[in-house]
Amino acid sequence: MTEILKVQGLRKAFGGVVVANGIDFSLSKGAMHCLIGPNGAGKSSFFRLLLGEHAPDAGTITFDGSDITGLRSFQRIRRGISVKFQVPGIFKALSVRQNLEVAFQDHLHGHSLSATIREMLDFTDLRAEEMTPAGILSHGQQQWLEIAMAVGVEPKLLLLDEPTAGMSPDETRKTGEMLHELNGRGITILAVEHDMAFVEQIAKRVTVLHFGSIFAEGTITEIIDHPGVQEIYLGTADV
Amino acid sequence: MTLNTTDTVPRSRARRLFSRLEGPQTMGSGPAFWTVAALVLGVAAAYPLIADAWTVGNAAYFLIWTFMAMGLGVVWGYAGALSFGQTAFFGLAGYAYGVITINLGTAYGLTIVALLLSVAIGGLFALVIGYFMFYGRIQGVFIGIVTLSVTLVLETFMAQTAGPQWRIGEARLNGFNGMSGMPPLTLPWFGGDIVLYPGPPLYYLLLGLVVICYLGLRILLNSPFGNVLVAIRENPHRVGMLGYDVRLYQMLAFGIGGAFAALSGALYTAWGQYITPSSMGLTSAALPIVWVAVGGRRDITATLIGTLVVLAGFQTLTIYGSQYALVVMGALLLVTVLAAPQGLIVGAMTLLGRLFQRSKT
Ligand SMILES: Nc1ncnc2c1ncn2[C@@H]1O[C@H](COP(=O)(O)OP(=O)(O)OP(=O)(O)O)[C@@H](O)[C@H]1O
Ligand SMILES: [Mg+2]
């Protein structure tokens, strides 16, 4: 299988805090992969490094065959990376429709733009909220809206930072189904998640991050049975 | 078949353009709104028939400022960057108009060329300032500080150009007293040039320009470009993470705002045939913020109406003393910020819209 993402020797420190301590990581095309780890392990920082929000102290990031380490954030997005942040990053004063327009209008125009918006409104069950300011949606709906914004551009790689945070079990399960559908369309997905039930629902392979380093990597059962992982994370996690 | 496609493509493009006269970024839509707008325009067009030439020239003076206000509306209200120094582009364009026309004269419609050049100079200067600000990661309140500094530096610089060595060709910059004696706008015409002194012909030219700029901005703001601007105002980080070069958009919006301020500056200089450094001073720099804030910065219609209303009110008050008028302006700004932060006109229009909705149901 070909790799869509390859990270080599990625290092980043803020003063004394090492958020990435020589990370080697790769992701094959079409994968649905989860990143777990205790609070402060460096999961969100790893995403920010991938997105170019932090410049690494050392290491390289290769995406879809080319080195993107020196590119600015918006250029990386244009290459086909898309992201949903841990804190919902939507335009609260704008309507749901406008949020989607801003997300898609650069790639789509005219009829294909309105068709995709309609499709995404159905996909996320936000049809009735089309003209509602995004800021007054429920937390779960805001998460979905942001997922829709992230997937509507048809990225090659979708980064999701805690996509189910604050969702009810029902919403969480539905989100999992959405992700399976997106993955079925060929989008590679890398998700940070705390909810192990959700991780089991979506991921075949899991990477555990601890103190900015990769602590373990394997199938979901391997990770759950891993004694070290239980000690640092699963035993103490509030799942 | 071929004929059909070549025919419909431009037509549908024009239709899409005009459909953007209405949209989420601008208040007012539907036949009722456009009927009222046409009526207002009709009254404005008939105004010179009932008023004397001096009053009409004075009304033209009000129209001149609306361009700077609408430009600030784009930069501040839509793109979310509070510029405190639109007068820098206003003043620069005013001086540019003076220097160019004094050197080139009025023949062959050269004053119109001078007007366009002045707008280009002001707009380019704004792009340069915008480049250094936005690519230098200056944000929030610091944009206000930088832009205010720019306009005050220009004011100070122009105020010390009294000596005879400060001349560009024929044009003396004249220091604190400012430059005067430049010709008004002059339209070449068959039976002889039309000189646009303050009066009905200038009024009509300005009214036409206001309509063009207002409608053009409505189309721009409801376009994908306008969508990105308001998104940047709401959450610039997310916009970057959707693949947009946020700084480029901010710089372009700032350039547009600067060009509009420059249009005001050049027209102002042509109208009164003078421009002084104080047009870039602190008081001058603060006034556009009051106009735009009071009317409503997040809607171009509110900005336009608010500016005209506040200007007319300001002039009425000035009869009782200009210091007094400034205090009232400050109080007005305070009341707006406290009582209707989205602006008085926007507040009133929202209320009207709600009443209208209710009466329909
Ligand atoms: N810009 C920064 N400057 C200094 N320290 C930072 C910065 N960003 C993150 N950190 C620190 O780096 C560590 C890793 O943070 P990060 O947000 O990546 O963790 P995380 O694994 O996403 O945690 P969580 O599960 O709580 O979201 C934390 O200790 C955090 O305080
Ligand atoms: Mg995190």
Q: Please indicate, yes or no, if residue A87 is contained in any of the structural domains.
A: no
What pTM value is reported for the model? 0.91
Rounded CA separation A165/A171 (Å): 10
H/E stretch holding A213 reads: strand A213-219
Q: Is the pLDDT of residue B128 over 90?
A: yes
CB B202 within 8 Å of CB B57? yes
B340 phi/psi in degrees, rounded to 5: -140, 75
Tell me, what DSSP letter sits at residue A39?
T
H/E stretch holding A209 reads: strand A205-210
Residue A234: give the domain boundaries: 1-80+158-239
A150 shares a domain with A45: no
User: Which residues 6+ apart lie within 8 Å of B262 measured at CB?
Assistant: B89, B90, B92, B93, B118, B119, B120, B121, B122, B123, B126
User: Which residues 6+ apart lie within 8 Å of B277 measured at CB?
Assistant: B91, B154, B155, B156, B158, B159, B175, B176, B178
Chain B interface test: which of A90, A94, A159 (most B C-beta within 10 Å):
A94
A176 shares a domain with A144: no
CB A118 within 8 Å of CB A47? no
Domain segments of chain B as ranges: 63-279, 281-361
Q: Please indicate, yes or no, if residue A51 is contained in any of the structural domains.
A: yes
Which pLDDT value is given to residue A80? 94
Q: How many residues does chain B have?
A: 361
B338 phi/psi in degrees, rounded to 5: -80, -40
Which pLDDT value is given to residue B12? 77
A239 shares a domain with A137: no
Q: Please indicate, yes or no, if residue A136 is contained in any of the structural domains.
A: yes
A74 shares a domain with A171: yes
Cβ neighbours of A73 (radius 10 Å) = 20
Q: Please indicate, yes or no, if residue A233 is contained in any of the structural domains.
A: yes
Domain end among A154, A172, A203: A154
Q: What CATH number does residue A162 fall under?
A: 3.40.50.300
pLDDT digits (tens, 9 = 90+) for B40-86: 999 999 999 999 888 898 899 999 999 999 999 999 999 999 999 99
Which residues of B touch chain A, with CB atoms under 8 Å apart?
A: 16, 24, 224, 227-228, 230-231, 234-235, 237-246
Tell me, what DSSP letter sits at residue B245?
-
Please state whether beta strands A32-36 and A188-192 pair in parallel, antiparallel, or not at all (unpaired): parallel
CB B20 within 8 Å of CB B222? yes
pLDDT digits (tens, 9 = 90+) for B238-292: 999 999 999 999 999 999 999 999 999 999 999 999 999 999 999 999 999 999 9
Which tokens in the block code for residue B324?
């007094």
Number of domains chain A contains: 2
pLDDT digits (tens, 9 = 90+) for A84-110: 998 888 999 999 999 999 999 988 888
Cβ neighbours of A238 (radius 10 Å) = 5
Helix, coil or strand: residue B84:
coil
Q: Which of B234, B241, B245 sits opposite A94 (nearest CB)?
A: B234
Q: Ligand 2 centre and the CA of A43: distance in Å?
A: 5
Using alpha carbons, select from A9, A25, A20 the residue that is nearest to residue A42: A20
Q: In terms of CA atoms, which chain B residue is nearest residue A83?
A: B241
Using alpha carbons, select from B104, B59, B67 the residue that is nearest to residue B87: B67
Residue A19 Cβ inside 6 Å of ligand 1? The answer reads yes
Which pLDDT value is given to residue B3? 43
Ion ligand 2 neighbours (CB, 5 A) are: A 44, 86
